Amino acid sequence: MNWLTGSTSGGGQQAPAVLGVLPAADPDPGDQAPELAATKPKTLPLGARLYIAAMCLAACYCLQLAFQTWQPELRLSLLLYVVVAVISSGMKVRPPGVAGNISVNFVFTLFGLLEFQLAETLAFAAIGAAAQTLWQSRRNRNLHLAFNVACVVVTVSASAFIFSLHLFLHWSEGPLIRLTLAATVYFVINTLSVSIMIALAERHPIQNVWRQFYSWLFSYYLLGASLAEMVHLSVVQLGWTFAVAFLPMLYVIFRSYRLYFSKLQQERLHAESMASLHVRTIEALAMAIEAKDECTHEHLRRVQVYSLAVARHLNLDKDQMQALHAASILHDIGKLAVPDYIISKPGKLTPEEFEKMKVHTVVGAAILEQVGFPAVPPIVRSHHERWDGTGYPDGLQGEQIPIGARILTAVDCLDALATDRQYRRALPLDEAMGYIAGLAGKQFDPRVVAVLEKHYLEFEAATRATPLRATKLDKTFVVSRGDAPAAGFEKHSEAKTTQTASPQTFVDSIVSARQEVQTILEITHDLSASLRLEETLSVVAQRLRQLVPFDCIAVYIREGGVLIPKYVNGDNSRVFASLAIPVGEGLSGWVVENQKPIINGNPSVEPGYLNNASKFSLLSAALSVPLGEGTDELSGALTLYHTERDSYSRDHLRVLLAVTPRISRAIESALRLQYAQRQASTDELTTLPNARGFYLHLQENLAQPNTQTGCFALLVCDLDEFKYINDSFGHLTGNDLLKRAALILQNNCREADYVARLGGDEFVLIFPGARREELEPRINNLDRLIRQACQDLCGEDCVGLSVGIACYPEDGSDPDNLLSHADHDMYREKRARKNAGKSLTLFKVS
């Protein structure tokens, strides 16, 4: 048996995994075992090099002992057997399904123990091993040659020692028994030596290497011993030339077996090809299912690689491994029975939604039972069971849960934590593993968690090195034939477009299509739940970005002959927010006037956008569509701006046209509500906010106090002797005085101040950041101006201003307390002035 040559001297086992240690020719790399090929060191470890050195020393000692007793005798038969040894080294057959070869050379090696001296047998056995190594090893031949020759010398020497023992001398079958014992020793030493070499090189347990590669060879060694004995008896009876006559017969047997095994191998490869086709079909189906869940298809590969790696560390048998392989791909096939809105929900599930989600385990198992996977359905059904028995659907616990399901649930949870999902961001892999480890013995099998915790970094590296197969498809799927559907096209603008298609996997296409539908549904749902205009348009911008890229969004509403921006967000938002675009002018104005969209328009043509040298923008493309479809009065434009030229396609236009009717209706509803609220909150006489508007404003002010000062002053004002004006000059004059008073209060307040009419002759003011001691000059000025207005209107100085003050937070923390405090303060001041006979004197802040 040779190391790194792809064959053995007597049914030897190929060990291609070790080829990664010392680069050499590997005639059949596809036969390598996955367990031993997971990690290939780039250099031969020191232990392996020392082992080679030890084997070489042992071989030298054996050669010294053999040649000390050698009596040289040049015989033609010896030369013939040297030639036969070299030729037979290349006569190998490979049984189907076995990663190894059976060589004819072994028979002649055992025959040499019967016919020749030990030194001669060692010579042609070593020559055969050297020839085999040099034929198949193209690089680093020295180490290969040294180990293989040394291994053969030690092995043959040990076999010769057993054969030379004086055992069974009085039995007629004694030579055959001793030869059988020698073949057994040959098998043990040869296979064990190569197993140790592979184990040291690949860092795998020796017993695993031997059991996987060489345990099946023993029967062929026994067969070789029988053939060697048959040839020996024939030579004894018929002469050594019979061995020459035996060669064609042996070659015919070799060719017959080779053709037979080749035919079996072809059938095996065909079966494997069909099985591979089935696996790829399953993977494609599974990726489509994962696309329904909007998870990356890397989820499948990670779960598959992790699961099978854990299973190998737990020594699962072949049938369990195959079942786990299929289950790791198809464990979520039952999600076909779960509605999309539940699977893709970005937040937590309701109890009712969770009940519906749980059926995917039962449905998935039922589907796979119909396919005929006998061991897979129990794994799929139980992959959400928990170690403590609190899982679903059957409440299994501990060892009751199939081992494949226990592996799958831990791996699936680890991947879910370590990848982005629609309901949360991914955790770092180390944190995710720590979370899983914390649930060992509760949710997960402790043995499975222990393997994961020890090897998860190794598994992750293997995952990244094992990409999932995916077919590259064009996202646009352009078909040249077909002019129009039978029902014709919907009529809208003929706009130019430049469409750049980027290659996508078919899974990405499925995800993209589902995301589009899901986002449109979410926009519809959010718009129906939104009433305020600002909130409505903010929702539109947030959702729309998932479907159509933009760097700035602007919603223009027509008011008379101009477009007013009602919502702007993104780059240059301040510039766009200040525009007033005449209908028919610029990009958005043209869209509104003609009711047609524009694709990849020039943002710089918007009137007022770049006519100022201080205004500069990198925006280069615009997509604008008209608003108002499905509404009674709304007219406007939704315009998206992008920094890259020709960045919008007809596919983007299609999506935008699909959502604009919903957006238009939502905007119209929000505008109507805004108008109704404004009407309900406005005093008709003075156009100031009324009592309702005041309460709403005060509640918002208390909910979000001034971040700089954290305080404000509330003033309740009353016009003294206002009844005298109504009684003496009439209500029309009184109304005119109220209008003038309201205008005075508005014009003499800061922009941040708030003025409202509570009712009758009472007004209320809110001064953010003001304190009581700062108000006297302002109040006296307002009193003076109102007195002057009364003098101008009635010719008499008969009306003054009484004011009550409440400061937040000193005098109250809610609207009722503040208003009550200010009202009491005003009437107290009014009574004090009346008692003092100073109802018309200036107000003094006490």
In a domain, 74, yes or no: yes
SS3 601: strand
In a domain, 33, yes or no: yes
Q: Which residues pair with 768 in a beta bridge?
A: 712
- Residue 723 is predicted with a pLDDT of 87
- Residue 755 is predicted with a pLDDT of 93
Q: What is the mean pLDDT of residues 175-202?
A: 82
Q: Name the DSSP letter for residue 101.
A: -
Q: What is the mean pLDDT of residues 503-508?
A: 47
- Residue 843 is predicted with a pLDDT of 40
Is 453 a residue whose pLDDT tops 80? yes
Among candidate residues 421, 437, 470, the one where a domain is terminated: 470
Is 11 a residue whose pLDDT tops 70? no
- Both 306 and 438 in a single domain? yes
Cα–Cα nearest to 105, from 75, 120, 79, 127: 127
Tokens 């923008």 -> residue: 617
- Residue 28 is predicted with a pLDDT of 31
Tokens 């760097």 -> residue: 551
Strand ranges for 497-573 from DSSP E: 503-505, 552-559, 562-570
Most confident of 15-24, 171-180, 466-475: 171-180
Instruction: Among 282-296, 404-418, 617-631, name the one with the lowest average pLDDT.
Output: 282-296
- Residue 828 is predicted with a pLDDT of 85
Cβ atoms of 543 and 519 within 8 Å: the answer is yes
What CATH number is given to the structural domain containing 605? 3.30.450.40
| Mean pLDDT score across all residues of the chain | 75
- Both 656 and 715 in a single domain? no
- Residue 503 is predicted with a pLDDT of 46
Instruction: Among 1-15, 138-152, 405-419, name the one with the lowest average pLDDT.
Output: 1-15
- Residue 474 is predicted with a pLDDT of 41
Rounded Cα–Cα distance for residues 127 and 84 (Å): 10
Is 217 a residue whose pLDDT tops 90? no
- Both 236 and 338 in a single domain? no
Give the whole-number percent of the chain exceeding pLDDT 70: 70
- Both 454 and 548 in a single domain? no
Q: How far is CA 201 from the centre of its chain?
A: 36
Is 607 a residue whose pLDDT tops 80? yes
Instruction: Among 218-232, 237-251, 445-459, name the one with the lowest average pLDDT.
Output: 237-251
Instruction: Among 13-22, 323-332, 473-482, 767-776, name the one with the lowest average pLDDT.
Output: 13-22
Sequence-distant (6+) residues with CB within 8 A of 695 are 815
Cβ atoms of 97 and 166 within 8 Å: the answer is no
Give the predicted TM-score (pTM) of the model.
0.42
Confidence of residue 447 (pLDDT cuts 50, 70, 90): very high
Confidence of residue 758 (pLDDT cuts 50, 70, 90): confident
Q: What is the mean pLDDT of residues 98-103?
A: 56
Cα–Cα nearest to 713, from 783, 765, 778: 765
Among candidate residues 470, 497, 513, the one where a domain is terminated: 470
Among candidate residues 637, 653, 680, the one where a domain is terminated: 680
| Tokens linked to 112 | 């040499």
- Both 410 and 322 in a single domain? yes
- Both 670 and 703 in a single domain? no
Note the pLDDT tens digit of each residue in 342-366.
Answer: 776 666 777 777 888 888 888 888 8
- Residue 78 is predicted with a pLDDT of 66
- Residue 446 is predicted with a pLDDT of 93
Instruction: Among 78-92, 373-387, 464-478, name the one with the lowest average pLDDT.
Output: 464-478
Return the amino acid letter for 381: R
Rounded Cα–Cα distance for residues 148 and 5 (Å): 9
Confidence of residue 476 (pLDDT cuts 50, 70, 90): very low
In a domain, 93, yes or no: yes
Q: What is the mean pLDDT of residues 126-145?
A: 70
Give the whole-number percent of the chain exceeding pLDDT 90: 13
Cα–Cα nearest to 403, from 306, 314, 300, 330: 314
Helix residue spans in 293-350 (DSSP H): 298-313, 318-330, 340-343
Is 744 a residue whose pLDDT tops 70? yes
- Residue 773 is predicted with a pLDDT of 82
Is 471 a residue whose pLDDT tops 50? no
Count the alpha carbons within 13 Å of 689 in the hemisphere toward its beta carbon. Answer: 17
Cα–Cα nearest to 584, from 555, 554, 606: 606
In a domain, 327, yes or no: yes
In a domain, 278, yes or no: no
- Residue 292 is predicted with a pLDDT of 53
Q: What is the mean pLDDT of residues 448-462?
A: 89
Rounded Cα–Cα distance for residues 228 and 225 (Å): 5
- Both 48 and 101 in a single domain? yes
What CATH number is given to the structural domain containing 425? 1.10.3210.10
In a domain, 558, yes or no: yes
- Both 441 and 584 in a single domain? no
Which helix (H) or strand (E) segment is 745 a member of? helix 731-747
- Domain that includes residue 83, residue range: 16-246
Residue 40 has phi, psi (to 5 degrees) of: -120, 105
Instruction: Among 129-143, 252-266, 394-408, 746-760, name the one with the lowest average pLDDT.
Output: 129-143
Planar angle of CA 16, 19, 23, nearest 5 degrees = 150
- Residue 403 is predicted with a pLDDT of 93
- Residue 639 is predicted with a pLDDT of 92
Calculate helix-pair angle for 506-529, 533-544, nearest 10 degrees.
Answer: 180
- Both 674 and 745 in a single domain? no
Q: Which residues pair with 622 in a beta bridge?
A: 601, 641
Q: What is the mean pLDDT of residues 108-125?
A: 77
Rounded Cα–Cα distance for residues 492 and 597 (Å): 8
- Residue 676 is predicted with a pLDDT of 72
- Residue 96 is predicted with a pLDDT of 58
Which helix (H) or strand (E) segment is 181 a member of? helix 174-202
Count the alpha carbons within 13 Å of 219 in the hemisphere toward its beta carbon. Answer: 1
Cα–Cα nearest to 716, from 816, 845, 819: 819
- Residue 752 is predicted with a pLDDT of 84
Number of domains in the chain: 4
What CATH number is given to the structural domain containing 801? 3.30.70.270
Count the alpha carbons within 13 Å of 790 in the hemisphere toward its beta carbon. Answer: 24
Pairing between strand 598-601 and 636-642? unpaired
Q: What is the mean pLDDT of residues 301-322?
A: 87
Note the pLDDT tens digit of each residue in 796-810.
Answer: 888 888 899 998 888
Is 108 a residue whose pLDDT tops 90? no
Count the alpha carbons within 13 Å of 546 in the hemisphere toward its beta carbon. Answer: 19
The 636-642 sheet, strands edge to edge: 581-582, 562-570, 552-559, 636-642, 621-627, 598-601
- Residue 250 is predicted with a pLDDT of 66
Is 301 a residue whose pLDDT tops 60? yes
Q: What is the mean pLDDT of residues 701-719?
A: 74
- Both 426 and 567 in a single domain? no
Tokens 């195959």 -> residue: 322
Is 660 a residue whose pLDDT tops 90? no
As a whole number of Å, the CA-based R_g of the chain is 46
Rounded Cα–Cα distance for residues 431 and 418 (Å): 8
DSSP for 449-515, please give it. HHHHHHHHHHHHHHHHTSPPP--EEETT-------S-TT-PPP-----------EEEHHHHHHHHHH
Q: In this predicted model, which residue has the larger pLDDT, 508 or 288?
A: 288
Q: In this predicted model, which residue has the larger pLDDT, 520 or 206?
A: 206
Instruction: Among 95-109, 741-755, 784-798, 809-823, name the one with the lowest average pLDDT.
Output: 95-109
In a domain, 740, yes or no: yes
- Residue 294 is predicted with a pLDDT of 47
Rounded Cα–Cα distance for residues 243 and 246 (Å): 5
- Both 553 and 648 in a single domain? yes
Is 5 a residue whose pLDDT tops 60? no
Is 835 a residue whose pLDDT tops 80? no
Is 89 a residue whose pLDDT tops 70? no
What CATH number is given to the structural domain containing 169? 1.10.1760.20
Q: What is the mean pLDDT of residues 172-176?
A: 72
Rounded Cα–Cα distance for residues 66 and 724 (Å): 142
Q: In this predicted model, which residue has the larger pLDDT, 390 or 425?
A: 390
Instruction: Among 97-106, 333-342, 521-530, 644-653, name the one with the lowest average pLDDT.
Output: 97-106
In a domain, 257, yes or no: no
- Residue 402 is predicted with a pLDDT of 93
- Both 446 and 551 in a single domain? no
